[in-house]
Amino acid sequence: MAYITIGVFLLACALLLWFFPDTSILDYGYAEMSSFFNLTPFLFIFLVPAITMRAFAEERKEGTYVLLATRPLSDWQIILAKYFACAVLMLFALIPTLVYYYSIYELGLPKGNIDTGAVIGSYIGLCLLGAAFAAIGIFASSVTNNQVVAFAIAVFLCFFAFSGLESMSKQFELSSLGSLLINLGIAEHYQSLSRGVLDTRDLVYFVSLIVVFLGLTKWVIGGRKW
């Protein structure tokens, strides 16, 4: 499943970045990867839940979590092992996309005419975004024994966290509630990192989001009689 999912992700990235006229870098005419970093979060909304949906749902369905729980492992060790396994797979999906940076670097006029700092910041943002989505996906997988349901829940939560809160904030843009909703949403912090600015507030936000959803997973797993 992981290999297929990563393959589909890379194929979608390649088509969107080089072939589709509305998003193609060649048609855009500028040596930058902004279209890639704008589109990838929406691909991640489907990619990461596809990777995480089996984490606990399959264990619960097959009854194998009981065997896992009898090992000398704590709940946190099990949760973190599954989380980091999914996060590493997500990072492996991003590594081949570095070819796009090299291609644009070579195609630029003059050669190397690309904002490397912004690209580095955007990749850091993508890694943190994927890590946050992985935590959400692990939580979604822990609340059900059906992989499809886990996938659907994770996609909804990821989309709501990334775009939903930002859309809701527009209804209250003249009040403090609107500002609060924007700051609670992932998009604002991801876009800040994509500008190449490493703000500790953004880093703290992503780490906090990961800790919250892993904590919720621990609460679900710890309170369930398997």
Would you state the pLDDT for residue 224?
54
Average pLDDT across each block of 10 residues of the chain; the chain has 226 residues. List them in order. Answer: 82 81 68 79 90 84 74 85 91 88 77 77 90 94 89 93 80 70 83 79 91 92 62
Count of Cβ atoms closer than 10 Å to residue 200 Cβ? 7
Per-domain boundaries in the chain: 2-222
Contacts of 46 (CB under 8 A, 6+ apart): 155
Give the N- to C-terminal CA distance of the chain in Å, as an integer: 25
**pTM (2 d.p.):** 0.87
Would you state the pLDDT for residue 175?
67
Would you state the pLDDT for residue 105?
77
Would you state the pLDDT for residue 27?
65
